[in-house]
A and B are shown apart, each in its own frame.
Chain A
C-alpha cells in the first residue's frame, strides 16, 4: 500500500513563528490541542531499542523443542529461501523459565530474563518483507518504501515537545546506519523539526553542537554583533516573522551548545550506575552501547519524547543480528554487547519511577528461519518473530501470541507492524486513526488504513 505525494507544506508566518518559538518546535496535530491527547495517556515518552538484522526468535523468547529433535533433517518450508539443501537447525541456546510469570528466555539474554515480569512478550509478530531495507523502513514508518515519517516523528508531531530546548526525537547510534538508511529516521512529509537528531557514540555526538569558539567570550562577541546587525535588518524588513524566528533560533542554538553536552555528560552519574550499564566492560562495543543506553535514560529524563538506540554492527552484516552464518558466535557476542545495558535501562528507569510512564519497545525488522542452508546460520524470517514491550501502559509478565511448533508461522493472535504502531500510539493517549496529517491528497496515518490495538498487552 502506498499513496505517496508531495504537496509541500507551505508554512504561514504564524506557523513559522510558532515553530521557531518552540525551538525544536512542533505543529500541533490536527484535532489535538497542545499537550492534549485523544484519551488518557499511560506513557509520556518512548524508548525504542532497535535490534536490526533479525534476532533469532526461537533462540531468544520462543522456544521450539521440536527443532532439537529435527536437527539436521531436510527441511521443507514453502518460502522464499526454500531449496533442496535446507535443513532444520536445533536451538543453539537453552531456555529457562524466569520470574513469577515463568516466561522462558534463552541463555542468550540472562539480564533481560530477570525482568520478564515487566515485559509483554509478543511472539506472533509478522512483517511483510524478508529484506532488511524494506523491513526496517516498514518497522519504523509503517511503509515499505522511503519518504514517510518515522514513528518517532509521528509521536512528536502528535504530542509535541516536553523540553523546548531539546529535540523531540533522538537517535543514538554508532557509525553504522542500518539498511534503509536515514529513511528509517526521517520526518518524511512532516515538518523538519520532527526529524531525528542523531547522537553518535564517538567523536562529536551531535552535528555542530560543539562551539567552534573555544573561548566563550569570542563567541558572545560575535553573537552580539550579529544580533545588533540583524536587528537593523529587522527594522528595514518591517519586522519580518521569519527573520525574527531566525534570530530566536540563534539564542536557542547558543543555549543548546551547552545544554546538549550537559544532558550527555555522565559526570553526575554514580560509578554504580555506570557499572550497571556496563561502562566498565572490556569489550569496547559493549561500553559504547552502554554509553548510548545511559545517554538514552538521561535524554528521556530531560524530556525527549522519543529516544531510539541502534546496536553496534560488529560483523559488517546488514544489521547487527543478521547471522546467515556464524550464528552461534555472533549472536552470542551481540547479546553480550546489548543485554546488560538493556536490562540496566529497565532497572534504572524503574528505580527512578520512570518506567511507569515510559513505553519501552525492543524489536527488530524480522526473525530468523527455523531451518538453515549452510548449517551455520539462519536467514530472514518475516513470517513470525518476537518482540517485547514494557513500561507505560503495558501489562508485565504477559506472553502474547503463538507460533507453530517449528517457529515458522504465526499460529495464534497475529500482530503486524501496524498493530504494533496502533498499540504504541494507544499507550501514548493517541488514537491511531485520528493521528493524521494531510499530504499527497489524503489524510496520512502512521498505520495507513490498517492497525488494531493489541488490548491483551495493555495494563
Chain B
C-alpha cells in the first residue's frame, strides 16, 4: 500500500526533483516493492540487503551491489537488466524504473536517513498497530462484575477420589492416611475446605508448585554443551521456589525477584538470607558453552537469546525470540524490541551471588576479629621485637626482595666497594623502573563491585594478616592495604568485578595475591564460563597481566574470584590437576591491591622504593648490615604493633615471615599456642558461604545494536533499552544508571501489564484442571489459542491482582470450586506427572523420605560419566521426592523422562502426556520399581494375611478393595506362591503382588 501511494506521489512530483526526492519517490519505493522481500530486513539472499546505502555498498556474496556514480559498474543495474544474473527473478522491472535507479546511482546514490524508514521499522508490515489494538491478550482486562466459575457437568466426586485428586494437585503426593481419615470422618460442609487448607499449609505444596515453575524456567543444574559444567547453587534456587510458594510471596514480588532481585530497594531477607537475590538465578539455568566467546560470538548471544526466550514466555506468554533475526511475523514485536531487551540483559552481569553476605557477623567471627587477632598481633610483635634474625647466606632473591642485598654482598672481598656499587645499582634501577612504570601505565581506579562473605567488611589496612587454619604456622601472610577475602578465614568467598574496561588499552594488570584455586580473568561479553581464567598462586602481591580485547566491540570487565564463585570450577578434566578433595574444599582466598591499564605487553616492573631504607645510610661490614636489617625489622614491627604499618613495612615483615626468619609457630610462646587453638576453634564454627549463580548489575548500562539477521557480527542500528513497545503500558525508559532490569521488572509486574496476571492465572488453572483456559500456556500471541472463556480468565486475573497476587488464594479458590469437585468426565481423568508417579511408588512402599531442601541427588545411571558431571546416584534416590533428583543436561533422569519429564531447554509450561509402551516396560521391568516392590513386601509380610490386600489398596490407591478385588489379588497371591513354589507369606510372593499394584492404571491415573 505504501509503495503504491508513493508511486502515485511520484507521478505528481514530476521529474524536476532533488536527488533526495528522486530517491524517495522513484527509487526507495521500487526497491521496497520488488527487492526487500528477499534482500531486506527479513531475508538476505546471497548475503545482500538493499535497504540501506551501506548494505548496498557492502554488497553480498557477489561483491558490492552499487558503485556510486557508475551505474554501468553496479551489479544492481546489471542484475536489473537481466544480463549475467536476472533480478527480480522471473520478471523485469519497467525500463523506466531501471532508468530511475541508474540515474540515482549516477547522482551518487544518496540515501537520506528518512523518518519514514524509522516508522516502517516500528511497523514493518503495516499491521502491527492493528494487531496491538485488536488481539485480545494485548488489551486491558475486561473482568466481569462477579466471578462466575463454570458449572459442573458431572455429579460430585466421591470423597476418596476427591481427596486423592486434591492431594496430587496441591502437593503432588497421595494423601496421608491421617489426612484421609480426618477428611472421611468430617461430615461438616467445611470438611473439604479444611482438608484443602491443611494441604495448602503443608510444605509439600511449595515443593509441587516449585516443580511446576521449574518447567517454566527450564530448570537444569548443569550447562550441557561439551563438558556439562555445573550451575553454581542451582538447587538453592529450587529451595527458594519451595519457600516462596509456601510463603505465598505475592506473584508480582516473585516476578520482580526473578527479573531484578538484586536491585530491589527492599530485598526480602528471611533468616539473614537475601531471598530476592536467588530469583535472578532463573536467568542462568539454561545451556551455556564454555569456549572462547570472541572466536565463537554466538556463545554469549545464544545465552542471552535463551534468557529472552525464557523470560518472555514465562512472564508474558510471548515468543519474543522469534524477533531475533527478523520482525515477529505474527505478533507486533519488531526486532528492535528484541534488541531493546538484549541491551538490558547484556548490560547485566552473570555473577555468583552470596546470599548471606549481609547477615550479621557470626559471634565466632567477631571473636576472631576483636579478640583473637589483636592478641596474636600483640604477642607476635612482642616476640619479633627481640628476635635474632638468622639471615641466610644463600638463596635466589630478586632485587625487590629485602634479602637480595644480604646475599649479594656475601663474601665480597671489598665490602665497602661492593656496598657502594650495590647502592648505586639500586638507585639506578629504582629510578629506571619507576620511570618505565610512569611512562607506560595508567591506574584504573574505578570502583570495583565486591561480593562475598570474605569481602563483607571491605578493604583492610596494611598489616592485617591471615591465620592458618591448619599446620604449625600461625600466620599465613601479612597483608598489604587492599581487599582481602582471608582476613578472618579462607573458607569465606569473594568476588571482585571491575567496571567495564575502556577500549583504550590492550592490557590490564592487576596486583593480586591468592591461593587454593582463586583466580583472575577477563570476562568477555558476560561469558560466565568462558575460557582463560588464571589461577592465583602467589602468597604475596604480584602482577597478573590480562588481555582486555579492546579491539572487540564487546563489554569486557575484570574479575577476581575465590573458587566457589568461579563457575568454571570444578573444571573439565585435565585443566586443573588438583585432587578432588582440593576442588571440593571450601577454602580459597585472594587479595587485591590495584589495577593499571597499558599497551606494552608486560606488567609494571616491581618498584624498589621500599628498599631505600636499607640503603639510606652507608654500612661498612656484614655485621653492620645485619644490624641494619634488625633495626629495620624492629622498627617495622613496632609500627605494625601500633597499627601504623605502611605497605613498605608489611613488605619487609612479610618477606621475613615467608622466609621463615620471624617466629611464627604456636610453640614460640604458650600464649601463641592458646591463641592458635582459640582461632581454629572459632574458625571451625564459621558457616560456609551460600553462593548461587545469578544476575548482577554494575555501573552504567548500555544499548545494544540490532544484529542483522541475528548475526552478531553484523551490527545495525543501536537500540535504546526497552521491552515490548507495542504491547502493554508505555515503556517508561531506563531511568537508573544500571542495566534497566529494575525498570523491566516494574514494567512486567505492573498491574497495567495485560499479560502478566493473565499468563500466571492461566498457568494455575492449567495445573488445577489439566488444561489452561488458554491451552497454549506459554503463548498468548496470535499463534496461541484464544481463551475458552475470556471473561473468566480476566476476572480471575483481576481478582488475583486485587488480592495481593496471592497464588495460594487463587489455587484455593479453584480447588474449592464445584468444577474441581465433580466426578469424571466432568473433571478430566489425568495421568500423574513423572514426579508424582515416582513419589507415589515411594509413598506406597514406605520408602518415601519427606526431608525438604538440600543439594540434589544424582539419578541412577547405567553409564555414569563423572568427567561430564554425570554421576551415578542410588537407585531409590535416597527415597527423596523426585524434585530433589539432579537435573543434568546431556543425560536426564531416565525414569522421569519416560513419563514425559521435559527436556530443560526452553520454557515448558505444559507437558506432553504421551502414552507409549516404554512406560509399560518401565513399570514392568525398571529396577527401581522392582526394588520398591521388594521394600514394600518386607513390611507387608509382617501383617496378617487378611490385612495385606486392604493395606495395599489404601497405600497405593487410597481406597479399600471391593470384595471382588480382594478375591482377585488373594487368588493372584496364591497363584504366585504356587509358581514360586514358596510359602504364602513369603516376601517373593508379596513383592510380585506389590509389583502388580504399581502397574494398575488406577495407580497412575487420577479420576
The interface residues of chain A lying within 8 Å CB-to-CB of B867 are 316
Q: A146-B905, A237-B1007 are in contact. Are A6 and B914 (CB under 8 A)?
A: no
- Report the separation of the CA atoms of residues A458 and B87 in the bound assembly, to the nearest whole angstrom: 29
The interface residues of chain A lying within 8 Å CB-to-CB of B771 are 10
Whether A240 is near chain B, meaning CB under 8 Å from some CB there, is yes
- Whether A8 pairs with B329 at a CB distance below 8 angstroms is no
Whether A266 is near chain B, meaning CB under 8 Å from some CB there, is no
- Whether B996 pairs with A230 at a CB distance below 8 angstroms is no
The interface residues of chain A lying within 8 Å CB-to-CB of B921 are 207-209, 253, 256-257
- Whether A131 pairs with B319 at a CB distance below 8 angstroms is no
Q: List 6 A-B contacts (CB under 8 A).
A: A2-B305, A8-B908, A177-B865, A179-B226, A218-B976, A250-B924
Interface string of B924-938 (1 = CB under 8 A from A): 111000100000000
- Report the separation of the CA atoms of residues A232 and B964 in the bound assembly, to the nearest whole angstrom: 10
- Report the separation of the CA atoms of residues A349 and B918 in the bound assembly, to the nearest whole angstrom: 30
Q: Which of B677-710 contact A (CB under 8 A)?
A: 710
Closest 10 CB pairs of A and B: A181-B890, A253-B920, A147-B905, A208-B925, A175-B863, A8-B910, A441-B783, A208-B921, A192-B914, A252-B917
Q: A222-B999, A440-B319 are in contact. Are A5 and B779 (CB under 8 A)?
A: yes
- Whether B1000 pairs with A237 at a CB distance below 8 angstroms is no
- Whether A19 pairs with B295 at a CB distance below 8 angstroms is no
- Report the separation of the CA atoms of residues A23 and B930 in the bound assembly, to the nearest whole angstrom: 24
Q: Which of A300-319 contact B (CB under 8 A)?
A: 316, 318
Whether B644 is near chain A, meaning CB under 8 Å from some CB there, is no
- Whether B226 pairs with A132 at a CB distance below 8 angstroms is yes
- Report the separation of the CA atoms of residues A236 and B1007 in the bound assembly, to the nearest whole angstrom: 9
- Whether A6 pairs with B908 at a CB distance below 8 angstroms is yes
- Whether A4 pairs with B1005 at a CB distance below 8 angstroms is no
- Whether B891 pairs with A182 at a CB distance below 8 angstroms is yes
Whether B746 is near chain A, meaning CB under 8 Å from some CB there, is no
- Report the separation of the CA atoms of residues A230 and B291 in the bound assembly, to the nearest whole angstrom: 53
Whether A183 is near chain B, meaning CB under 8 Å from some CB there, is yes
Shortest distance from the beta carbon of A226 to any chain B beta carbon, whole Å = 5
Q: A209-B925, A225-B968 are in contact. Are A146 and B287 (CB under 8 A)?
A: yes
- Whether A8 pairs with B289 at a CB distance below 8 angstroms is no
The interface residues of chain A lying within 8 Å CB-to-CB of B550 are none
- Whether A217 pairs with B979 at a CB distance below 8 angstroms is yes
Q: A8-B911, A144-B298, A243-B829 are in contact. Are A221 and B289 (CB under 8 A)?
A: no
- Whether B925 pairs with A210 at a CB distance below 8 angstroms is yes
- Report the separation of the CA atoms of residues A179 and B572 in the bound assembly, to the nearest whole angstrom: 13
Whether B95 is near chain A, meaning CB under 8 Å from some CB there, is no
The interface residues of chain B lying within 8 Å CB-to-CB of A20 are 915-916
Q: Which of B813-837 contact A (CB under 8 A)?
A: 824-825, 829, 831
- Whether A238 pairs with B783 at a CB distance below 8 angstroms is no
- Report the separation of the CA atoms of residues A242 and B296 in the bound assembly, to the nearest whole angstrom: 47
Measured CB to CB, the nearest residue on chain A to B892 is A182
- Report the separation of the CA atoms of residues A183 and B1001 in the bound assembly, to the nearest whole angstrom: 31
Q: Which of A64-84 contact B (CB under 8 A)?
A: 80
Whether A229 is near chain B, meaning CB under 8 Å from some CB there, is yes
Residue from the list A25, A252, A316 in contact with B920, Cβ < 8 A: A252
Interface string of A119-150 (1 = CB under 8 A from B): 00000000001011110000000001111000
Interface string of B445-471 (1 = CB under 8 A from A): 000000000000000000000000000
- Whether B224 pairs with A225 at a CB distance below 8 angstroms is no
Q: Which of B148-204 contact A (CB under 8 A)?
A: none
The interface residues of chain B lying within 8 Å CB-to-CB of A197 are 918
- Whether B783 pairs with A6 at a CB distance below 8 angstroms is no
The interface residues of chain B lying within 8 Å CB-to-CB of A134 are 289
Whether A161 is near chain B, meaning CB under 8 Å from some CB there, is no
- Report the separation of the CA atoms of residues A6 and B862 in the bound assembly, to the nearest whole angstrom: 30
Measured CB to CB, the nearest residue on chain A to B975 is A221
Q: A5-B322, A8-B909, A179-B225 are in contact. Are A441 and B330 (CB under 8 A)?
A: yes
Q: A221-B976, A441-B779 are in contact. Are A177 and B890 (CB under 8 A)?
A: yes
Shortest distance from the beta carbon of B983 to any chain A beta carbon, whole Å = 16
Measured CB to CB, the nearest residue on chain B to A318 is B226
- Report the separation of the CA atoms of residues A4 and B331 in the bound assembly, to the nearest whole angstrom: 15
Q: Can you add 9 more A-B contacts, CB < 8 Å, to A131-B289, A238-B824?
A: A7-B779, A7-B783, A10-B910, A145-B287, A146-B889, A147-B903, A218-B976, A226-B1000, A232-B964
- Whether A6 pairs with B906 at a CB distance below 8 angstroms is yes
Interface size on A, residues (CB 8 A): 85
Whether B309 is near chain A, meaning CB under 8 Å from some CB there, is yes
Whether B9 is near chain A, meaning CB under 8 Å from some CB there, is no
Chain A interface (Cβ < 8 Å from any Cβ of B): 1-11, 16, 19-20, 23-25, 80, 129, 131-134, 144-147, 175-177, 179-183, 186, 191-193, 197, 200, 203, 207-213, 215, 217-219, 221-222, 225-226, 228-230, 232-234, 236-238, 240, 242-243, 245-247, 249-250, 252-254, 256-257, 316, 318, 440-442, 449
Q: Which of B249-293 contact A (CB under 8 A)?
A: 287, 289, 291
- Whether B296 pairs with A131 at a CB distance below 8 angstroms is yes
- Report the separation of the CA atoms of residues A1 and B302 in the bound assembly, to the nearest whole angstrom: 10
The interface residues of chain A lying within 8 Å CB-to-CB of B533 are none
- Whether B925 pairs with A23 at a CB distance below 8 angstroms is no
Residue from the list A132, A144, A225 in contact with B969, Cβ < 8 A: A225
- Whether A186 pairs with B903 at a CB distance below 8 angstroms is yes
Q: A133-B226, A146-B905, A246-B915 are in contact. Are A229 and B1002 (CB under 8 A)?
A: yes
Residue from the list B321, B783, B909 in contact with A4, Cβ < 8 A: B321
Interface size on B, residues (CB 8 A): 92
- Report the separation of the CA atoms of residues A147 and B218 in the bound assembly, to the nearest whole angstrom: 11
Whether B719 is near chain A, meaning CB under 8 Å from some CB there, is no
- Whether A8 pairs with B912 at a CB distance below 8 angstroms is yes
- Report the separation of the CA atoms of residues A100 and B329 in the bound assembly, to the nearest whole angstrom: 52
- Whether B824 pairs with A181 at a CB distance below 8 angstroms is no
Q: Which of B3-54 contact A (CB under 8 A)?
A: 43
Residue from the list B319, B891, B912, B971 in contact with A191, Cβ < 8 A: B912
- Report the separation of the CA atoms of residues A213 and B909 in the bound assembly, to the nearest whole angstrom: 38
The interface residues of chain B lying within 8 Å CB-to-CB of A131 are 226, 289, 291, 296
Whether B980 is near chain A, meaning CB under 8 Å from some CB there, is yes
- Whether A80 pairs with B295 at a CB distance below 8 angstroms is yes
Measured CB to CB, the nearest residue on chain B to A256 is B917
Shortest distance from the beta carbon of B836 to any chain A beta carbon, whole Å = 16
- Whether A16 pairs with B313 at a CB distance below 8 angstroms is no
- Whether A211 pairs with B924 at a CB distance below 8 angstroms is yes
- Whether B920 pairs with A249 at a CB distance below 8 angstroms is yes
The interface residues of chain A lying within 8 Å CB-to-CB of B905 are 4, 145-147, 183
Q: A226-B996, A238-B824, A256-B921 are in contact. Are A146 and B224 (CB under 8 A)?
A: yes
Q: Which of B949-1007 contact A (CB under 8 A)?
A: 964-965, 968-969, 971-972, 975-976, 979-980, 992, 995-996, 999-1002, 1004-1005, 1007
- Report the separation of the CA atoms of residues A145 and B296 in the bound assembly, to the nearest whole angstrom: 14
The interface residues of chain A lying within 8 Å CB-to-CB of B889 are 146, 181
Shortest distance from the beta carbon of A30 to any chain B beta carbon, whole Å = 15
Residue among A6, A147, A318, A440 with max Cβ neighbours from chain B (10 Å) = A6
The interface residues of chain A lying within 8 Å CB-to-CB of B777 are 8
- Report the separation of the CA atoms of residues A23 and B918 in the bound assembly, to the nearest whole angstrom: 10
- Whether B1005 pairs with A233 at a CB distance below 8 angstroms is yes
The interface residues of chain A lying within 8 Å CB-to-CB of B287 are 145-146
Residue among A1, A175, A246 with max Cβ neighbours from chain B (10 Å) = A246
- Report the separation of the CA atoms of residues A364 and B968 in the bound assembly, to the nearest whole angstrom: 56
- Whether B862 pairs with A222 at a CB distance below 8 angstroms is no
The interface residues of chain A lying within 8 Å CB-to-CB of B325 are 1, 3
- Whether A200 pairs with B912 at a CB distance below 8 angstroms is no
Interface string of B94-134 (1 = CB under 8 A from A): 00000000000000000000000000000000000000000
- Whether A145 pairs with B916 at a CB distance below 8 angstroms is no
- Whether A192 pairs with B916 at a CB distance below 8 angstroms is yes
The interface residues of chain B lying within 8 Å CB-to-CB of A9 are 912
- Whether A208 pairs with B918 at a CB distance below 8 angstroms is yes
- Whether A182 pairs with B924 at a CB distance below 8 angstroms is no
Shortest distance from the beta carbon of A284 to any chain B beta carbon, whole Å = 17
- Report the separation of the CA atoms of residues A217 and B313 in the bound assembly, to the nearest whole angstrom: 51
Residue from the list A146, A176, A219, A230 in contact with B903, Cβ < 8 A: A146
- Whether B917 pairs with A19 at a CB distance below 8 angstroms is no
